[in-house]
Amino acid sequence: MSSSQIAGFGASVLIGVSLGLIGGGGSILTLPVLVYLLHINPILSTAYSLFIVGSTSLIGSINYIRRNLVNYSVALSFALPSFITVIIARRLLLPQIPESIQLTSTTHLSKDVALMLVFALIMLVAAFAMIREHNADSNSEPEKRVSYTLVSLDGALVGIVTGLLGAGGGFLIIPALVIFARLPMKQAVGTSLLIIAINSLIGFASGLEHYVMDWAFLLKFTTLAVIGISIGTWATRYIAGAILKRAFGWFVLLLGLYIMSHELFFSS
């Protein structure tokens, strides 16, 4: 096993820890790990990412369900439009993206590079949102009505992102649940994990026939991520959520800048 493979499997534990701690960020880490450390094709990596993040989130959500930290009505209003758009993205939008995208008469991007650049841009937006959010743990205002319309619209957006990029969308789900649904941070994390799990696994199943899966690799990687989410869930009792979000925001910012520079200047 090469050093990059060892690093890749080690990073799978961090993916799980991230999901357990803040209810998101797993896909932000999974796709770069699969592409850059394990050298898996970006298109196939999106499918792998859906399975890994979906399975890990499903197992992680069980602990939050037992602690009564999942809001099912909010999850349903978010998930239904998300389920529809993730299938549309996987079956209709992704196949329509050309293998070569012409930007100018002399410049073009491959489909793989274009998807990674879009992913990096979303990472940068998410990073700035997390860094600027100083009161994530105190945003719950139960006296105000839940904006189910905004929650559903954000769900539809997350579904498109999930379908195209293999991202569960936790970095988009958490702000929506805290700001629009007025959920306390820990309940937002539990609800986010359940949404990510179902969203990602539906996205994975909807395009399964298009890929040849290395199930031995997937199960090994996912098992390590499950160990990580158990660690992350346990650690939430001792680490403030606001501190975690800002620290993770800076990490996502640096990783997004790395992906963008790599794809623009070093990809063949």
Mean pLDDT of 94-119: 80
| pLDDT mean across residues, the chain | 81
Better-scored residue on pLDDT, 18 or 67: 67
Could you tell me the two tokens for 108?
Answer: 């073009």
pTM (2 d.p.): 0.74
> What single-letter DSSP state applies at residue 134?
S
Residue 80, pLDDT > 80, answer yes
Cα distance between the two ends of the chain:
25
Q: For residue 250, which amino acid is it? A: W
**Owning domain of residue 177:** 3-265
Each residue's pLDDT tens digit, 47-62 = 898 899 899 999 989 9
Question: What counts of helices (H) and strands (E) characterise the chain?
Answer: 11, 2
Mean pLDDT of 199-220: 84
Q: How many domains does the chain have?
A: 1
Element housing 73 (H / E) = helix 72-88
Alpha-carbon dihedral 226, 230, 236, 237, rounded to 10 degrees: 170
pLDDT at 241: 63
Element housing 100 (H / E) = strand 100-102
Q: For residue 30, which amino acid is it? A: T
